[in-house]
Structure 1
């Protein structure tokens, strides 16, 4: 008996045995009884856990009668996923594992292709990322602060985004939630959260593999095995490797750049001594030695040397032997990662009857060595090497009501988080003359600790009206110490430590009305809080270590969810307004006789507003459409800072550094105003035994100002990309084959941009990739 891995649980397909969904499968006998009507897809939506993810413990012990009922529900829900979430008052985007595979999303950054008002950008082409959700976000190029949007893997928060590198494989689904969070679980934040779920162990034996080969010798491989070890004890082991794919070439010597070299493992051990208790021990390890995409020079801000004229897939880079020796790496090193991540977590839950107690303990660590060529030139005007050693411990304890059918629902809990970090930056400014002309390093340590208590209660009134309220209190304490800045062959500067603490409340109140069986309205008001921190970048004066302040936001949101034509048309939407105080944002400071330097600072007052929505439709029997759309605007109401563009222009004209100060009151905050993404698919049976699914997908992102008030090349141009796929599947086998294209029109576009010293550069997006993917599982 066979079945294919294809998105959405298409009729005639036994997707329950697919590579990424099999962790949530029922027993083999259930699969036989339900074929060919995607039994696992139905079970995944029948018994949701936290964040609407199913509990394998519950559905793997279903009776025969219940199994028959589940199959009937599947037949009704195969077209639109997460039906139960239509009664949840939020603007979250929920994505199945199959959709992640179909869109080729193998990193956290790819989530912007499937969620509205979401921008995720690489930091200088590296594996580290910056999030912007509904305009909330900032460019943390020093990577030592908690972002406004937090990423969770299996309920564990990753406060430093780089720690998620290599973890998006063997997935069970993803949820993107905009707006302030923290009253039901986890940590407080102002922008929202990305909740990622990995596949769980199964009660019966399953194993499988997937191979993806594409242009530029790109190869991605995955495999897993899952099954029982003893009574009540199950396990799952999964791994992935990534190689090749480098598409940049150096016209000076013909070298190419961008090849992946990554492997990762994840293991889960689950023990269920009885029907009320589940204990899951998980561990993961990633080794990433991938090359990174380097920038393309756009404009020379300082100096008169002409910039090279490069084709879109060309780039220049270079490392001096002296710098390679200083950082302890080999001569001729290409821009690349040399990173190692590992961690473990213990998730324990027990259902006491009226309430369920959950404990989540986690420890994660990173060892990073990262070389980037931040002048985008063969010369050494801003070559950078970053050495990071950090670890994070988190402990969450929460008690929640156990019966979702009760009118009263409640959650209380507490969260503790502690991080330790040591960073060392090396810079090669040898060719940046006469201003610098030297190599230097900056070293510092960072200690951070926070505790929070949270609670949330909701009550369902008559006439299908539900009211709810939540409250969170957080105490955060962090300090930076032992900061030393060394100019080799010159001076050494030592700076005294700084510390900052915050003691804040956040919360939420709301009301929802299920006015019809397939239509709901809601309104909520939320206050979000995010602690302050430090910018430790090329530190030359003590004032650069002044901490930036905590950020708070008051968010108003109104939304609706509807299925006006069940299984044919779904329309969800929300509108929002954000009132920020001390919004954390990347500004500029001018260091005398040194030049402008980036610094995270606060905009005392700012605001943003907009709307977003999702339309899913099946206008014809075999045509399936999905369209996400987001529109937002934001302005600074009070933001005094150094105008980087004007300051650079003054230096170019007079050869003297002079700070040109501006207040950007009334200026647009610069986030993309319009974001669109979607897909169309035609599902065509070829016979009773075979079928073919094919269609395009697309994404549009509006222009983005990379500096406050940015115009010209300081504003990243908009872009529109299209992809497509064709998938063949027999109805009765455990495999599928797909041919796909990404950026099918080979559009030239830029994913991010910035300035380190003398040159403004863009980080280019990848060209057209054409590939094939085959997977099998048993």
Structure 2
């Protein structure tokens, strides 16, 4: 029997082959004069000729020698994609999951950073108008009212604000116009979900224009307890942004962007899948030991009914940009940003009504960013950009862990608080160039020097009730030390054998670079080759630690990437076919692994993998065989592997050598496909129907290949249908998402005595209304 992943791959490949095979015949029958065919012309924009700013200047996406997926805001809205996590439906090779602490993790081509702390610098950075959102927790509102999104794959650092080993997601916000515009979108669907988005903008004077946008998402509970009559999972999110463009002279343009969001949704409850005591020989709590495992249903879960699981997360940002045209060829740019992200997130970690483990994660990140750069155009075909940037981050984080019914309670009382304060400063100098060599041939390159300094102070302490302090004072291995830990004090043991605050600093620097060739023999074909190197700065631990060496940082990771690709417009540009082959060599990859703590047993912690690699390919096709019909498909292979000995701990605490294993949370195969047909009903009305499918193959929630922590492959199918009138000024439609009601999960992890998974949403459906003025 052919397994589902192979079957999906074969079907996707066959679909691509059929597209190319039937194209000549379809192209001959798609002329406007043919009877029975719609007469809407096929333009270049419909076959991939989209303008992007991935290299900080306007270019056709088909002229950029990088692997880029660019999608317009209208397409995102029509497919119900309203935040970065949902880009998995459109971007092959892009993967999203959440840690047990609900921290978002973005992964591209197997390169991501599985850490749950509030101050975890991502491997894939999200930008809005080239302004970095420094930490992934703040990215929830990035997709509000956008013109398009550009997803860049591979190491970044010579063009965008900072180093990123995996890639960059750059959202381009919709800007104020010189005429009055307004619009509103409203979706209403299952679980009483109401998603209302609106904008209004226009000129205030001859030199000033403004655009105001907002979004409110509200829903009822979608999860249900499988042991009692109770529900959880309400959503309550509010977003807002105001952009002002001021052009006092022909040479000066100033933009101010003030935006923010708050999230008062309820945290998702996990599903219980495993029970493993953290201390050998000590029995589990009887109520927990007898608790039934969760059924394989998306909505089934359980949680402690005595707790409030409503979040209090927020994000505020103000940014300013100044562009000065010193000449027709030279532009000077300044970008400044200040942002504050706050988290208060209570989560049930064990998926039962027994208080085995509950965590309340809270903290604040304050980040200042400044970039100065100059861009010089060379004979209208080449470009040189150079600049400097600076970033300062102040991070305060605290996690209250409560486990009155866990095995660890015998030693650590009712729980503990792990807290830390970090101060990070990053300086960078960068330059990049795109220089013509011969007709059709150009060289591209870039270099960046980065200096990163981070200071850390933190410990794990008694909550104030004295139970953890008493437990550690009496713990037999510690009793001879006469620790005398008092209520509320740190109990993290320092190298001198006494409890206290762990204080450390990490100073690193690196040189990232990129070199490549672009060959464009004609306007319809680009062939490129790149070699690049990227870095991700070292990071500190955020976890409950008995010994201070558990809080030691991981060092910076290095990734060297080799890529060859092409972008081809075929058959009079009715087909856009893009492909790439890539190979990544990793040194000291940072990953969330597992260590064995003498009290808490197996606990997640950051570790470095000495050597590893990623290799694979991607292929995408976009076809307009006849007016009104669009077909697209993409597939990515990202084969990851630990190379050489890497001794670690599995989710259940077994020591093992992970040599040859794949990275956790990295599907080997991923792909998507979309079909949409549009036709005229009469002179004023058009109808449109479409469907989107996405696939991720199986992966694991940790090293060791343990069956219970395996994340199986899944396919999601969405459909949509609508009627548009007055040239798109209004639209009414219906939609369905995950229409096959596929049961899937995106996280499988271990916390204290419980193994859990977090399931994806079940089938949803609803209506949508859109108006434009």
TM-score interval, smaller chain:
0.7 to 0.9
TM-score (norm 1): 0.85
- Once the two structures are superposed, residues 528-551 of structure 1 have per-residue CA deviations (whole angstroms, 9 ceiling, x without a partner) of 011101112012110111110100
Task: Quote how far apart the aligned CAs of 1:205 are.
Answer: 0.8
Show the counterpart of 1:327: none
Query: Given that residues 469 and 510 in structure 1 are in contact (C-alpha distance below 8 angstroms), is that contact kept between their aligned partners in structure 2?
Result: yes
Show the counterpart of 2:650: 644
Show the counterpart of 1:428: 402
In 1, Cα distance between the equivalents of 2:551 and 2:169?
Answer: 30
Match of 1:593 among 571, 591, 599: 599
Show the counterpart of 1:274: 249
Task: Quote how far apart the aligned CAs of 1:39 are.
Answer: 11
Query: Given that residues 528 and 565 in structure 2 are in contact (C-alpha distance below 8 angstroms), is that contact kept between their aligned partners in structure 1?
Result: yes
Query: Given that residues 590 and 642 in structure 1 are in contact (C-alpha distance below 8 angstroms), is that contact kept between their aligned partners in structure 2?
Result: no
In 2, Cα distance between the equivalents of 1:186 and 1:386?
Answer: 28
1:165 counterpart SS class: helix
Query: Given that residues 355 and 402 in structure 1 are in contact (C-alpha distance below 8 angstroms), is that contact kept between their aligned partners in structure 2?
Result: yes
Task: Quote how far apart the aligned CAs of 1:46 are.
Answer: 8.3
In 2, Cα distance between the equivalents of 1:192 and 1:88?
Answer: 15
Task: Quote how far apart the aligned CAs of 1:451 are.
Answer: 0.1
Match of 1:543 among 530, 549, 557: 549
In 2, Cα distance between the equivalents of 1:504 and 1:678?
Answer: 39
Task: Quote how far apart the aligned CAs of 1:382 are.
Answer: 1.3
Query: Given that residues 125 and 292 in structure 1 are in contact (C-alpha distance below 8 angstroms), is that contact kept between their aligned partners in structure 2?
Result: no
Show the counterpart of 2:570: 564
- Once the two structures are superposed, residues 125-154 of structure 1 have per-residue CA deviations (whole angstroms, 9 ceiling, x without a partner) of 73x311111111121112322111111111
Aligned counterparts, 1:140-219, within 5 A? 140-219=115-194
Show the counterpart of 1:669: 663
Q: How many residues are matched? A: 689
In 1, Cα distance between the equivalents of 2:249 and 2:447?
Answer: 34
Matched, 1:696 2:702: no
Q: Which moved more, 1:731-740 or 1:496-505?
A: 731-740
Task: Quote how far apart the aligned CAs of 1:281 are.
Answer: 0.6
Match of 1:749 among 744, 747, 750: 744
2:212 counterpart SS class: strand
Task: Quote how far apart the aligned CAs of 1:168 are.
Answer: 2.0
Query: Given that residues 50 and 61 in structure 2 are in contact (C-alpha distance below 8 angstroms), is that contact kept between their aligned partners in structure 1?
Result: no
Matched, 1:107 2:62: no
Query: Given that residues 374 and 382 in structure 1 are in contact (C-alpha distance below 8 angstroms), is that contact kept between their aligned partners in structure 2?
Result: yes
2:218 counterpart SS class: strand
In 2, Cα distance between the equivalents of 1:402 and 1:53?
Answer: 10
- Once the two structures are superposed, residues 379-427 of structure 1 have per-residue CA deviations (whole angstroms, 9 ceiling, x without a partner) of 1111000111121100011101146x53441010111011001111101
In 1, Cα distance between the equivalents of 2:111 and 2:229?
Answer: 41
2:106 counterpart SS class: strand
* Pair 1:221–1:564, CA change in 2 (3 A): same
* Pair 1:338–1:40, CA change in 2 (3 A): farther
Task: Quote how far apart the aligned CAs of 1:593 are.
Answer: 3.0
Query: Given that residues 386 and 430 in structure 2 are in contact (C-alpha distance below 8 angstroms), is that contact kept between their aligned partners in structure 1?
Result: yes
* Pair 1:271–1:416, CA change in 2 (3 A): same
Show the counterpart of 2:503: 497
In 1, Cα distance between the equivalents of 2:675 and 2:186?
Answer: 24
1:104 counterpart SS class: coil
- Once the two structures are superposed, residues 681-717 of structure 1 have per-residue CA deviations (whole angstroms, 9 ceiling, x without a partner) of 1112212221211021101101111112323122201
2:300 counterpart SS class: coil
In 2, Cα distance between the equivalents of 1:309 and 1:483?
Answer: 34
- Once the two structures are superposed, residues 446-502 of structure 1 have per-residue CA deviations (whole angstroms, 9 ceiling, x without a partner) of 110010100011211223111122111000000111434225423132222111111
Matched, 1:510 2:516: yes
Show the counterpart of 1:16: none
* Pair 1:465–1:534, CA change in 2 (3 A): same
In 2, Cα distance between the equivalents of 1:213 and 1:340?
Answer: 24
In 2, Cα distance between the equivalents of 1:48 and 1:717?
Answer: 35
Match of 1:418 among 386, 392, 398: 392
Show the counterpart of 2:302: 316
Aligned counterparts, 1:370-519, within 5 A? 370-402=345-377, 406-433=380-407, 435=410, 436-487=412-463, 488-489=465-466, 490-491=468-469, 492=489, 493=491, 494-519=500-525
* Pair 1:667–1:177, CA change in 2 (3 A): same
TM-score (norm 2): 0.86
In 2, Cα distance between the equivalents of 1:723 and 1:401?
Answer: 45
* Pair 1:601–1:48, CA change in 2 (3 A): closer
Task: Quote how far apart the aligned CAs of 1:189 are.
Answer: 1.5
Unaligned runs of 5+ in 1: 1-35, 55-81, 321-331, 648-659
In 2, Cα distance between the equivalents of 1:387 and 1:639?
Answer: 37
In 2, Cα distance between the equivalents of 1:496 and 1:752?
Answer: 31
Match of 1:350 among 324, 343, 352: 324
Matched, 1:717 2:712: yes
* Pair 1:96–1:125, CA change in 2 (3 A): farther
* Pair 1:53–1:457, CA change in 2 (3 A): closer
